[in-house]
A and B are shown apart, each in its own frame.
Chain A
Amino acid sequence: MAESQKSDAFVAFERVQKSYDGETLVVKDLNLSMPKGEFLTMLGPSGSGKTTCLMMLAGFETATHGKILLDGVSINNIPPHKRGIGMVFQNYALFPHMSVAENLSFPLEVRKIGKSDREQKVKRALDMVQMGAFGGRRPAQLSGGQQQRIALARALVFEPELVLMDEPLGALDKQLREHMQFEITNLAHELGITTVYVTHDQTEALTMSDRVAVFDDGRIQQIAAPDVLYESPDNSFVAQFIGENNTLQGTIKEIKGDLALVELDDGELIDAKPVNVSKPGERTTISIRPERVEVDTRKLGETAHTLKAEVAEFIYMGDVFRTRLKVAGKDDFIIKTRNSADQVRLQPGEQIEIGWLPQDCRALDAV
């Protein structure tokens, strides 16, 4: 069992801690293992420790405590240039005094690869990112998207098994960013490289990754596939951070197997699925996605609990309607309904009843 796990984990963090000033820990007890070929995204707000983790893996920061393993070997004391890890930087870090081809040729030169071999590899890498015609240009003569491709090609040209990307799409506009997301994941999967990708953009994380590690406060809050993360967040932070989310505060009234009855602060009762609550009387935050809220309470069945709501605002967004409601004393409760032919358009001031299936609403830790 231990054997298989070891060979399975291509990259592993074991009880890693990091402190810059000797007083506070930026990374607290990080444990992570990822198999070969996985595309893992580290997602979190700024200051959550994700970039520090990446820099420790690349070798630019040293771990204060714990071990970092690459292919089963501890790399704590290996200098960055011997780790053989490709890296794409936030602002590309293309060498401005070298042409595109020279930039790509640089990692091959320092590895003392022969000239003809080098040219061939550079050409192949440029073709791979469809920039074959741009070898003679200077980075400053390229657009942001083109520079991004070159940075990617440079990180891949020496055929590393592990590639790190530090918010590589942060400087691009939205349209180009979406396009590049698609290209990067395609490339990573086709080449079978293991990728660690750092971002604070949750859409990017969800669309690109095999697994997402959500960082907050120096810890991984949850590490799971995007759909799991979205639909079954382990705690309030993840629920809040990933996607749009409605939260209501309350107290657990009773727990029956997979069903918890929650008394909201204004006294109303509602059903939820207990996640990290264990006994009645505990404070809880219940979390429900806007698209899982049902306005037609007849669909929910006789026994379901419902809440009274008043429509505060109706926003037409084309494919969906976004309606803001006043629920349980809060006026930021959002619901999303599909713009289908039979959908009712709610009017502000209208009094309605809302409810949901218990499995869609998660009772999490109190914030």
Chain B
Amino acid sequence: MSKLKSTGPQTADAPTPEDALHEAKSLNEAGKKDGPMLAADGTPLKRSLARALRVQKMRALMLIAPLLVFVLVTFIAPIVDMLFRSVENQIVSNTLPRATAAVETWDADAEEAPGEAVFRALYSDMFIASEAKEHTRLGTRLNYEQTGLSSMFRSTGRAVDDFGEAQIDALEDLNDVWEDEAFWYALMTGGEGATGNSDLLEAQRARLAQLTGDSFRGDIGFVPGAEISELLPQTARAYATFALFTAIADEDVVAEEEPWEAVKVGLIEDLKGGADLSGYDGPGAEELRAAQEMLQDQPAIVYKDAFIAADEGWGSNTTWRTIQTYSPEFTSGYFLNAIDMQKGVDGAKARPENQQIYIMLFQRTLFMSLVICASCILLGYPVAYLLSNLPVRSANLLMILVLLPFWTSLLVRTSAWKVMLQQQGVINDVMVWLGLVDDANRLVMINNQFGTIVAMTHILLPFMILPMYSVMSTIPPAYVRAARSLGATQWTAFWRVYFPQSVPGIGAGSILVFILAIGYYITPEIVGGTTGTFISNRIAYHISSSLNWGLAAALGTILLAAVLILYWAYDKIVGIDNVKLG
């Protein structure tokens, strides 16, 4: 073996970029000794550079701005909103603010159904909610947690107008003014020039805004009188709500509308509660005193009985436990639901076996996506290899065949599989004709996992082939030749030299196919039957049929998290740098 006495490898080489870098560095360090590097005009070099690059950056930003805005508005924002829905639960406390506050301290295990105070609060919440027609929405929401609540809220909403009917009749029999809208208006404003209590009005405005989602902004031509609202707080509150609703939601004049039953019930409560009218000399003082005197002989309104009469469910602890459990503004209930658990008294617990579905669906989705991904690799690799090693002309023809599915409607392709695979379909017919399968025992190949895997492999195959092809076409044939000349058989040359270099393409294709598969909807919906459906079908069901968006959002969030975790794991194991699309 010879030793070459000439210059070593380093000296033989031309100056490397590193040399230039070192030089630049040492130059910079020399500059540092006298403070920051300065540009020719004396400004610090960094600032000068930033200014020079700013225009460039602005231009780049301008170029992407339309797409950025489009994506933000139509994609990112809805996703964020959807994710938020998975934990959001304000509907309960927005619709029943007083009742949820009142029931907070109630102990479901120790006591019977909550006491009268809770039901009185429920009455005022329920009355407003039914006027605003929001009680049915709450019923639907709570029905996800306990069946039957939807109809309970519906029937209660109809009945709530009649609560305290006897007392109201007595009041109106006593004096006609209690049916007179102008009298009421004068009473509640406190007459001309009275001091107003706009805080009360604003509080009710906010309350209604929270309930309905409308702002309830605007002048309503009414401000509750300060004196009367102190004297008759429940009446004033109810009237303020009524006034806001009348003026803004119904667009009527407050002074021309007879107040709600709830206002009169509020008055009855205030008067029976011992409002001190002795010092009051505002409008309607006489009538008030007469009413208070009359009401002494009237029985009190029993809200609990009234509610139970409207629907027996109100007497049940389960109902109130559900309301109590879901009264916080944010809830993990949807997520627990999405993993087959539910909120119980002592925290989360698994659902009964016969109600469990989502974990199994998630597992099935993952498993089938993996199978689809693997079959795409197996079927796609040889095609990609052939594509990248054929002469250009034949490769182009083959490429068109690969791309052909892209140009055909997804629905058409899926339906074609239905035609092919069904029991009276092409494949079964051929096999029966050939005598491979008995006519009575035709194979079941559709509306199950097999059908879904076949159809989805076919549909996603191009997404596997294209990244593989673009990676493989960058592998020079010289590598395999070199391996062969070094003594490797064709198989060794492929396995030790070609295959490792094509792995980034497999990685890219796998990520693409797997992520597409895990969220696929149409194909499993059409050919999946019951055993071949994915989690996405369930999400779609909750979005469009059961309208349980919270659960759909929770399922979607879990799916998104699963994909991100897998992506992260892939990055750790394979390295995302190794993924090439070309």
Contact = CB atoms under 8 A, between A and B. Distances in A.
B35 interface: no
B483 A175 contact: no
A83 to B, nearest CB: 8
Contacts of A154: 486
B481 A110 contact: no
B488 A81 contact: yes
A316 interface: no
A327 B481 CA distance: 51
A130 B496 CA distance: 27
A93 B6 contact: no
A145 B13 contact: yes
Interface string B231-271: 00000000000000000000000000000000000000000
Nearest to A164: B485
Contact of A183 (B6, B478, B483, B501): B6
B489 interface: yes
A60 B493 CA distance: 14
Nearest to A143: B13
A187 B484 CA distance: 23
Given A87-B485, A89-B482, A124-B1, A96 B501 contact: yes
A111 interface: yes
Contact of A145 (B9, B490, B501): B9
A87 B482 contact: yes
Contacts of B4: 129-130, 183, 186-187
B436 interface: no
B476 interface: yes
A146 B9 contact: yes
Interface string B3-40: 11011110011101000000000000000000000000
A143 B16 contact: yes
A6 B500 CA distance: 44
Contacts of A79: 484, 490
B492 interface: yes
The interface size bin for chain B is: 20 to 34
Contact of A179 (B6, B16, B478): B6
Interface in A223-249: none
Contacts of B14: 143, 173, 175-176
B501 A158 contact: no
B501 A80 contact: no
B2 A93 contact: no
A111 B486 CA distance: 9
A191 B489 contact: no
A191 B2 contact: yes
Given A97-B500, A186-B2, A190-B2, A81 B489 contact: yes
A34 interface: no
A83 B484 CA distance: 10
A86 interface: yes
A182 B5 CA distance: 11
Interface in A128-177: 128-131, 143, 145-146, 149, 154-155, 158, 164, 173, 175-176
Given A95-B497, A145-B9, A186-B4, A89 B481 contact: yes
A155 B500 CA distance: 21
Contacts of A81: 484-490, 493
A90 B478 contact: yes
Interface in A72-86: 79-86
A296 interface: no
A64 interface: no
A127 B478 CA distance: 26
B12 A93 contact: no
A110 B479 contact: no
B1 A158 contact: no
A164 B484 CA distance: 13
Interface string B557-579: 00000000000000000000000
Interface in B439-493: 476, 478-479, 481-490, 492-493
A80 B486 CA distance: 9
A146 B478 contact: no
Contacts of B1: 124, 127-128, 191
Given A175-B14, A186-B2, A91 B476 contact: yes
B561 to A, nearest CB: 33
Closest 8 CB pairs of A and B: A107-B486, A93-B482, A87-B485, A93-B478, A190-B2, A80-B484, A97-B500, A110-B488
Given A95-B483, A128-B1, A149-B9, 7 more contacts: A93-B482, A130-B3, A145-B9, A146-B9, A158-B486, A158-B487, A179-B7
24 contacts: A59-B484, A81-B485, A81-B489, A83-B485, A84-B487, A85-B485, A86-B485, A86-B486, A87-B481, A89-B478, A93-B481, A93-B482, A95-B479, A95-B482, A95-B497, A97-B501, A110-B489, A130-B8, A130-B9, A145-B9, A145-B12, A155-B486, A187-B4, A191-B1
